Structures are given as C-alpha cells and as structure tokens.
Structure 1
Amino acid sequence: MSNLLKVFLLSAVPIVEQRGAIPLGIIGYELTPSKVFLISFLGSMLPVPFILLLFNKIFAWMKKYKFFSGINQFIEKKINKNSAKMEKYKEIGLITFIAIPLPTTGVWTGSAVAAFLKLDFKKSVLCAAIGGLISAVLITIASMFFPALVSY
C-alpha cells in the first residue's frame, strides 16, 4: 500500500483523522506537504455523508442493545457537551468545532453532532469541508514548521 493511500485512509479514521495523518505523511513518510494536505483533506471528508445520513439510525439501533451501552454513553456525553454550542451558533459553531485540531474535535464528531441536531445536510457537508480545510492548514503548518509539536 502506498504511503499516500495510508495517509488518505488514516484521515478517515475517527479520533486520528488529520491530526495523525498529516504529521505522519509529512514527518514520517517525508511526502510533500501539498500532497499530504490534499490527500488528508479528501480522506477526512470521505465519511461525512455517511455519518450525516446514518448516524441517528445506527445510534438508535445501538441503544436497543445493552452490549453497546458503554459506547452509547460516551457518544451521548460527547454530543450533549457540544450540542448547545452548535445549536446556538449553527454553521459557524460547526466550522469552528471541526477546525480546531484537538482530540475529539474534528470531522467525525462535528458530523455526528450535526446529524444529532438534524442540521441541513448540504450546509453540514459544506461546514465540514470548510472546517476540515482550516484544520488541515493548521496541522500542515505545524507539521512543517513545528514538528516537535506534533507526533505521529
């Protein structure tokens, strides 16, 4: 598997997303920052439509089974913690939440919150893209100029 494909796929993985894929591509694999930026952004956007369309259905199904209670509680806690901000600021809140490259923020969580709040699909995809671009820029710059700040 090529290193670019690894960066693409890693960008689509929850929690890791661009925060892990971009430093790995630039610092670990020594790929060009522009390629890593683009591939990582595209990879992070891959799950967005699926999350927006399926999150509520899967979450409701999981609630029926005690086996999933731990992860359900984690998800509900995370969504409830961030949903008030999203409801108040809607698109700007969603973009900002996704753009901040910190653990448990990002495209996956932002898209899940948007789905949970039943925000408009097209606006949510656009917000995820804008937030993802901002996040990718910040992480790419940090990986290029401050590699000690990011780990892979």
Structure 2
Amino acid sequence: MREALAVFIAALLPLSEVRGAIPLGVVLGLSPAATLAAAVLGNMAVVPPLLALLSGLEALLAKRLEAGGGFLHGLSSTYFKLVTRARIRAKPYVNRYGALGLAVFTAIPLPLTGAWTASLAAHALGMDRRVALLSIWLGVLVAALIVAGLVGLLAGLPSSAP
C-alpha cells in the first residue's frame, strides 16, 4: 500500500507526473496494474483543482506583481513566466488540432508537457474547463500507456551484468 501511495504522490508532482511515477512503481515492485492506476489517478487528481483555481490565483498574483518587491512579487513574476511558456509550447497543438491538440501535447512524454503545463496552457488559452479537463485526462492516459510501454520494453532488455 505504501508503494502505491508513493507512486500516487510522485504523479501529483509537476516534475515527475506519470513520467516519473511509473518507473518508480516498477522500482518499488508494484504490480503493473497498480502502478498504472496509482500514476494515472495521481496525475489526474491535480487537474480539476488547477483548472478551478488558476483564475483566482492569477488575479491575486497580478495584484502582488503590481505592488512590487518581496517574495510574492518574485513568485508572481515566476508564475507569469511559466504561463507564457506554457502558452507558447501548447498553442501550436491547440491551434492546429483544437481540444485534441491539448491531449496530444499532454501525451508527449517529455518534461514540461504533462498535466500541470497543459492546465496552465488551457487556462492561458481560455479553453472551456470541461473540454480542457477531458483533453488533459486523455493525454495523461496516453502518456501513461507510452511510459508503461517504454518501461516494459526497457525491463525486457538483457542485462550486460554477469
């Protein structure tokens, strides 16, 4: 049970998401089904709160940015840089393919293309929350399957150790 919780928590984090949680589950000896379930559920758990809270957070941070100085000013500046970066990275996918483009962007198993960045991008691009939620969830599921496949392929390779 602790292993599944560790995978779930790793999937919640913006730096690891399913891309780090699935290999963690394998290392911890968790079954493939439990690893996938914990990773996908953990990564998807962050999306609804992010989409719901970003507007309010952005308004608060904009006020702090205008006030200037201090820790919150630096935090606000960093947040707006992240939103701009997310918008720039996701916009070509969303412009070309619409909601499916956000799913494709989320599904790419590379750093800064997961659920956290996709949520920021959906907010920055003004997407409908329900459409964004479904797109991101689809992308997380596809990313998890890709990572699980890659981890499975790598696990099946012969070791060079004697």
Structure 1 residue corresponding to 2:86, chosen from 74, 79, 100? 79
2:151 maps to a residue whose letter is S
Q: Who is 1:8 aligned against?
A: 8
The answer to whether the Cα contact below 8 Å between 2:106 and 2:113 also exists between their aligned partners in 1 is: yes
What is the TM-score normalised by the length of structure 1? 0.87
The answer to whether the Cα contact below 8 Å between 2:107 and 2:143 also exists between their aligned partners in 1 is: yes
Q: CA RMSD in A?
A: 1.9
* Gaps in structure 1 of 5+ consecutive residues: none
Structure 1 residue corresponding to 2:149, chosen from 131, 136, 141? 141
2:82 maps to a residue whose letter is I
Structure 2 residue corresponding to 1:123, chosen from 128, 131, 155? 131
What is the TM-score normalised by the length of structure 2? 0.82
Secondary structure of the 1:134 match is helix
Q: Who is 1:59 aligned against?
A: 58
Distance in 2 between residues matched to 1:52 and 1:105, nearest whole Å: 16
After superposition, what is the alpha-carbon deviation per residue over 1:72-115, rounded to whole angstroms, capped at 9, x for unaligned? 34313312312432244321110000000100011111111112
Distance in 1 between residues matched to 2:62 and 2:107, nearest whole Å: 30
1:54 maps to a residue whose letter is L
Would you identify which runs of 4 or more consecutive aligned residues in structure 1 move more than 4 Å? none
Distance in 1 between residues matched to 2:128 and 2:87, nearest whole Å: 19
Q: Who is 1:101 aligned against?
A: 109
* Gaps in structure 2 of 5+ consecutive residues: 65-72, 157-162
Say which one has the larger Rg. Answer: 2
Distance in 2 between residues matched to 1:107 and 1:30, nearest whole Å: 25
Distance in 1 between residues matched to 2:102 and 2:111, nearest whole Å: 16
Q: Who is 1:24 aligned against?
A: 24
Q: Which has the higher contact order (CA 8 A, sep 6+)?
A: 1
Aligned length: 147
Distance in 1 between residues matched to 2:120 and 2:84, nearest whole Å: 12
